[in-house]
Amino acid sequence: MIPITVVDVADAEPYVLEVLRSGVIAQGPMVKRFEDAFAEVAGVEHAVGVNSGTTALVASIEVLDLQPGDEVITSPFTFVATLNAILEAGASVRFADIRDDDFAIDPDAVAAALSPRTKVLMPVHLYGQMADMTRLMPLAAEHGLAVVEDSAQAVGATLDGKPAGSYGLGCFSLYATKNITTAEGGVITTNDAALADRLRVLRNQGMRARYQYEMAGHNYRLTDLHAAVGIPQLEKLPRITEARQRNAEALSKGLAGLPGLELPAVLPGRTHVWHQYTVRITEDAPISREEFSAKLTEKGVGNGIYYPKVVFDYDCYRDNPKITAALEDVPVATRVAREVLSLPVHPKLTDSDVDTIVETIREVLGA
């Protein structure tokens, strides 16, 4: 079986041992070291480590001091954490449809979804390619919106040479299967020193100094043990990204021209870090997306569907007064959710694995 993801953290052993031997195992110097290295990679002044990508999103919304009824506009085609974080932060949420080339929020749809209560724009840089920030940033500025980038899948991605997480408040996930990992963890990036300071206080029970509480905070702290896992990950990020890019290129070359198979595009001005290599099985394909997925699995090619439904289309979100959403307002996301399928693109793939993936798909599609 060629797996869809491989976790490769064995090289963290000396760093983890260093932490274990030091006795400082919760938030300490290793977190600081990780944050400084992350800030450099993300091209920002400040990086604040937290315990997940989800809490990175919650904290980023919370420091914006929204009022009850204030709205966040985000993508309907994302991991559920994006929506859960907005609700956890107490904000209301509205969805703007996506484009079918970058799978990210469509600036025209954002303009149409704006309401007087809209205060935050939260694009999701899906699969490792950034949303169209060139058009989204001026739109946000014109309407006085704060920008929180869900960069969970996009560490190292750029648009016009500027990295994900350097446009607004950047929220990254360090979960086990993300491009770099600390097992569980997250990071918030910003160039705003005052926001970074508030985020540091918020993640630690709202505490500035011992028993000096400034706000009702959380325990969102990252630990030195987790940070230690991430240090070598950050060091090898350029190699991780290059390997993913090389694999994606080889897949696109091998899979070109098959009927019913739409390949992922890298849009002008953007670099793609290929968290996922996601194809679309369209109506022109000889078999359904579900049959295609089952046949690949049967033949030993791991695959995944990210995501099978629009994020709000579950019973647990229906009738939630904080959610304004209708499937008919997001036709592109609805269609794309029926068509997408992600293939292995991780750095541990060999040339022969890539050949196997290509041959298997050509065979399954009868080409």
Ligand X SMILES: *Cc1c(COP(=O)(O)O)cnc(C)c1O
- Alpha-carbon distance 17 to 141, whole Å? 47
Stretch that binds ligand X, among 14-22, 40-48, 106-114, 149-157 (CB under 6 A): 149-157
Q: Which one of residues 63, 110, 152, 336 is an interface residue with ligand X (CB under 6 A)?
A: 152
Q: C-alpha distances in angstroms, 132 versus 118, 213, 250, 270?
A: 19, 39, 25, 9
Q: Are 68 and 88 in contact (CB under 8 A)?
A: no
Q: Which one of residues 77, 95, 167, 175 is an interface residue with ligand X (CB under 6 A)?
A: 175
- Alpha-carbon distance 354 to 362, whole Å? 12
Question: Does the footprint of ligand X cover residue 78 (CB under 6 A)?
Answer: yes
Question: Does the footprint of ligand X cover residue 130 (CB under 6 A)?
Answer: no
Q: Which one of residues 60, 82, 241, 276 is an interface residue with ligand X (CB under 6 A)?
A: 82
- Alpha-carbon distance 128 to 102, whole Å? 10
Q: Are 153 and 277 in contact (CB under 8 A)?
A: no
Site pattern 300..339 for ligand X (x: CB under 6 A): ----------------------------------------
Q: How far is the CB of 211 from ligand X (least distance, A)?
A: 30
Stretch that binds ligand X, among 146-154, 189-197, 286-294, 321-329 (CB under 6 A): 146-154
Question: Does the footprint of ligand X cover residue 52 (CB under 6 A)?
Answer: yes
- Alpha-carbon distance 363 to 357, whole Å? 10
- Please list the residues that pair with 360 across neighbouring strands: none
Q: Which residue is nearest to ligand X (CB)?
A: 53
Question: Does the footprint of ligand X cover residue 127 (CB under 6 A)?
Answer: no
- What sign has the CA pseudo-torsion 309, 315, 317, 318? positive
Stretch that binds ligand X, among 28-36, 147-155, 203-211, 324-332 (CB under 6 A): 147-155
- The region, left, alpha or beta by phi > 0 then psi within -120 to 50, assigned to residue 260 is left
Q: How far is the CB of 342 from ligand X (least distance, A)?
A: 12
Q: Are 200 and 31 in contact (CB under 8 A)?
A: no
Nearer to ligand X, 118 or 179 (CB): 179
- Alpha-carbon distance 268 to 90, whole Å? 37
Q: Which one of residues 73, 124, 187, 250 is an interface residue with ligand X (CB under 6 A)?
A: 124
Nearer to ligand X, 83 or 296 (CB): 83
Q: Which one of residues 81, 122, 136, 187 is an interface residue with ligand X (CB under 6 A)?
A: 81
Q: Which one of residues 186, 217, 260, 344 is an interface residue with ligand X (CB under 6 A)?
A: 186
Q: Which residues contact 333 (CB under 8 A, 6 or more apart)?
A: 75, 76, 77, 95, 97, 98, 310
Q: Structure tokens of 315?
A: 């019973």
Q: Which one of residues 71, 97, 150, 339 is an interface residue with ligand X (CB under 6 A)?
A: 150
- Strand 158-159 to strand 270-271: parallel, antiparallel, or no bridges (unpaired)? antiparallel
Nearer to ligand X, 81 or 137 (CB): 81
Position of tokens 């950047």?
170
Binding stretches for ligand X (CB under 6 A): 52-54, 78-79, 81-82, 124, 150, 152-153, 173, 175, 186
